[in-house]
Amino acid sequence: MKSENIVIIGGVAAGTKAAAKAKRENPDLKIVVLTKDRHVSYAGCGLPYYVGDVIKEEKELLVRRPKDFLIDYDIEVLTEMEALKIIPEEKKVVVKSLSTGDIQDFEYDKLVLAAGASPFIPPAAGKELGNILTMRTVTEATAIKNLINERDIKEAVVVGGGLIGLEVAENLSLKGISTTVVELAPHILPPYDADVAFYVQKYLGEKGIKILTGTSVKAFTDDGQGNVGAVITDAGTLEADLVVLAVGVRPNVDLAVECGVVLGATGAIAVNERMETSIKDIYAAGDCAENINLISGRPVWYPMGSTANKTGRVAAINFAGKTHKDTMEGVLGTSILKLFELNVGKTGFSERDASALGYDVETVLVPAQDRAHYYPGSHMIVTKLIVDRKSHLVLGGQIYGEGVVDKPVDILVTAITFGATVEQLAKLDLAYAPPFSMALSSTIVAAHVMNNKLQGRFSGVSPLALKEKMEAGAVLVDVRTKNEFFVRSIPGSVNIPLRHMVERAGELDRSREIILNCKLGLRAYMASLKLKGLGFEKVSILEGGMTAYPFETE
């Protein structure tokens, strides 16, 4: 039986995963991987840390070299090769060597499009100036690193406040470079909710990174030597020796469109659950391919390294020619990042997105320790839990703090994937010992708080709504001790400690809404029970307390 020819366009995560898995599934396959880059398999998510010298050497980012694939897998990898055209009716790909200019055809029985995505370049005048760089490949990251090491870079501007932009900003700051992040959206981390993003924004400001949100870049100016000297924004001019463009990426779909492959609603390549495109024997995987959201069942596009690896594997199992098949059911858009000592993670719908899709959304903001409070190294984390008020299904979560965040995020991923309600989430038999968790983990605590809210045991006010509430006449009462209140408090609040609440309740106007605040929320909840017992009806709790409050205090 003639061995099949498999051509894979693109490397890095999806392409190389597809190639290696297919060879394990069917060793008789003849596989060739074509990539425009000098490198075929590297840790793209590690690039910011390479720039910041957390990862010292370029070679540490390189997972496999072309000769490794040839020796270990009998897979031919051709670098600096650009696919110019796909001719489906002839089952061939026209390819140009970027080093020699030679053109040649590659015939295929099965073709995999793993072309990835490319950085979006904002249409600002002067974008072609020197020292304006993107960071999508090892080559680009090395160029930034060399620039920092060889020149006196003092001022950097990062355009884009998403995951990569903020990781780059952190690492530039760690190199002693004064760094400003410019973000067009109303807040950094656009996929996250504003209350979480504002907390992160405040934290980064305290670390010395300047954040400009709701700000667009108009132009880049020349320093007189052909390099960038300043960034002109609608909020003013920023001096810059270095600009990193991290505005986002766009799926590489030109080849697919030209050969007739159908795109999906997101603009990425439409695929079925087996990663098959609209044209027989052509598959797509990784950042150029569309995904399905596990909750809504709607098309989405999440260009993540983890997703790229999964889709490459699924595609390989299906095109490798054996009887075993696999499917990609969907994704949740899970993400996580580290910024200095702060960890931030998300999965599922944000409150904003769930509301836009018509869900009857309820949220809570709950601080708790990541492990037993008495165990060395414990830290506070805040969980924002998002559920559907009618079905009680868990829809999403966002977690941040200096403690362990990935574990509770992954718990929520699992719960959402299997359709858990918040009641089921609260009953999970999670691992407990003081070095690892509280007796009731932060996730279970958040689930209990959500259940209390759904049952009407308390009314919550988000930090974002507090100012408007106070302007409308609500009174913010801080129930912490006098000493705690003196050290740090929210402007406009009054202090009535919990232990004095009953005797001083007469100081409160029953006709106005009373919003209770403490460090975490528990004392505020206890105070609400006392006031309700005294006949107060308009009583609410500031969710997350002082721990999650994302604005200035006094």
Burial class (CB in 10 A: 0-12, 13-18, 19+), 15: buried
3-state secondary structure 212-271: ECCCCEEEEEECCCCEEEEEEECCEEEECCEEEECCCEEECCHHHHHCCCCECCCCCECC
What secondary structure does DSSP assign to 89-156, as a single string? TTTEEEEEETTT--EEEEE-SEEEE---EEE-----BTTTSBTEEE-SSHHHHHHHHHHHHHS---EE
Q: What is the pLDDT, as a whole number, of residue 410?
A: 98
Partnered with residue 119 across adjacent β-strands are: 249
Residue 500 CB neighbours (<10 A): 14
Report the Cα–Cα distance between both ends of the chain, in Å, rounded: 78
* CA dihedral for 192, 193, 196, 200, sign (positive or negative): positive
Residue 107 vs residues 32, 95, 110, 252, 276: alpha-carbon distances, Å: 10, 11, 9, 22, 19
- Crossing angle of helices 406-417 and 442-454, in 10° steps, is 50
Residue with tokens 């990042």: 337
Of 45, 259, 288, 518, which residue is the catalytic one? 45
> Is 45 known to be catalytic?
yes
Q: What is the pLDDT, as a whole number, of residue 44?
A: 85
Q: What is the pLDDT, as a whole number, of residue 38?
A: 87
Q: Which helix (H) or strand (E) holds 539?
A: strand 539-542
CA distance 298 to 308: 18
**What are 188-214's pLDDT values in tens digits?**
999 999 999 999 999 999 999 999 999
**Pick from 269, 237, 245: which is nearest to 255 by CA?**
269
Q: What is the pLDDT, as a whole number, of residue 66?
A: 87
CA distance 502 to 536: 11
Residue 418 CB neighbours (<10 A): 10
Radius of gyration (C-alpha) of the chain in whole angstroms: 27
Contact 263, 282 (CB under 8 A): no
CA distance 191 to 146: 32
Q: Which helix (H) or strand (E) holds 199?
A: helix 194-206
Residue 108 vs residues 111, 170, 363: alpha-carbon distances, Å: 6, 44, 51
**What are 269-308's pLDDT values in tens digits?**
999 999 999 999 999 999 999 999 999 999 999 999 999 9
Q: What is the pLDDT, as a whole number, of residue 43?
A: 85
User: Could you tell me the two tokens for 247?
Assistant: 């505005």
CA distance 417 to 295: 8
Rounding to the nearest 10 degrees, give the CA dihedral for residues 413, 416, 417, 421.
Answer: 140
Contact 101, 236 (CB under 8 A): no
Q: What is the pLDDT, as a whole number, of residue 440?
A: 97
CA distance 27 to 145: 40
What's the predicted TM-score (pTM) here?
0.94
Low-confidence ranges of the chain (pLDDT < 70): 1-2
CA distance 136 to 413: 27
Contact 537, 509 (CB under 8 A): no
**Pick from 366, 344, 370: which is nearest to 547 by CA?**
366
Residues of the chain with pLDDT > 90, as a percent, come to: 92
- Output DSSP code: residue 289: B
For residue 402, the one-letter residue type is: E
Residue 482 CB neighbours (<10 A): 11
